[in-house]
Amino acid sequence: MFPIELNGSRLRLREMRLSDAERLVQVYGDETATRHLSFTPRTADQCVAVIQVAIKDAQAENRTVYMLAVVTPDDELVGAARLAIDERPHSAQIGFALKPGLWGQRLGGETVRLLLDLGFGALDLKRIWGARAPDNERSRRVMLSAGMVEEGRIRRHLRAHGAWRDSIVHSVLDDEWKTATIHT
């Protein structure tokens, strides 16, 4: 499915463009924003490469990766929102990050809800999950507020910042999403 365009009340998700690279560095290049992510802060060149991959993935015939720009009404990138369909294609994993200066205004919640709208709406998925660092409290609250319950712990899930890390998995099912008032 291409191109993706999803409107929330304050944010919009759209396809990434090379011209977003400078703004993406303010998210993926930031120590605070990447502290709980699987990678260390990205350089400007690495952010360009991330966008190049996003553009390539967006054009794939059977698209499975939706790496989208989170933008303000004046089209400025303030975050990244990703949905990747699993090998079992009824399910997908989401990831999201916003520029730290904007945290605490419920924009994270809006971003997650837009990803769920995409997954359960246009993509007709049955299950959407996210994996967070055990001490990523903001991510915990955001996913819970969007109806993503805690499902369990993946021990030694990944290696991040030079150490093995567990992840806490959250998930929501399509019927839960349909009956809850958690839509954007």
Ligand X SMILES: CC(C)(COP(=O)(O)OP(=O)(O)OC[C@H]1O[C@@H](n2cnc3c(N)ncnc32)[C@H](O)[C@@H]1OP(=O)(O)O)[C@@H](O)C(=O)NCCC(=O)NCCS
Site of interaction with ligand X (CB under 6 A):
33, 36-37, 95-98, 103-109, 130, 132, 136, 138-139, 141-142, 145
Name residue, tokens 């054009």: 59
Residue 125 or 169: the one with the smaller Cβ distance to ligand X is 169
Longest dimension (CA), the chain: 43
Question: Nearest approach, Cβ of 64 to ligand X (angstroms)?
Answer: 19
Question: Nearest approach, Cβ of 37 to ligand X (angstroms)?
Answer: 6
Q: Between the CA of residue 102 and those of 3, 76, 98, what are the distances in Å?
A: 26, 13, 7
Question: Nearest approach, Cβ of 159 to ligand X (angstroms)?
Answer: 16
CB hemisphere CA count around 99 (13 angstroms): 16
54: left (phi over 0), alpha (psi -120 to 50) or beta: alpha
Residue 126 or 183: the one with the smaller Cβ distance to ligand X is 183
CB-based contact 107:11 (threshold 8 Å): yes
Residue of 67, 82, 83, 92 lying closest to 15 (CA atoms): 67
Amino acid (1-letter code) at residue 69: A
Question: Nearest approach, Cβ of 62 to ligand X (angstroms)?
Answer: 26
Question: Nearest approach, Cβ of 136 to ligand X (angstroms)?
Answer: 5
Residue 19 or 105: the one with the smaller Cβ distance to ligand X is 105
Residue 7 or 59: the one with the smaller Cβ distance to ligand X is 7
Question: Nearest approach, Cβ of 59 to ligand X (angstroms)?
Answer: 26
CB-based contact 108:115 (threshold 8 Å): no
Paired tokens of 163: 């150490």
Residue 55 or 129: the one with the smaller Cβ distance to ligand X is 129
Residue 1 or 163: the one with the smaller Cβ distance to ligand X is 163
Write phi, then psi, for 145 (nearest 5 degrees). Answer: -65, -25
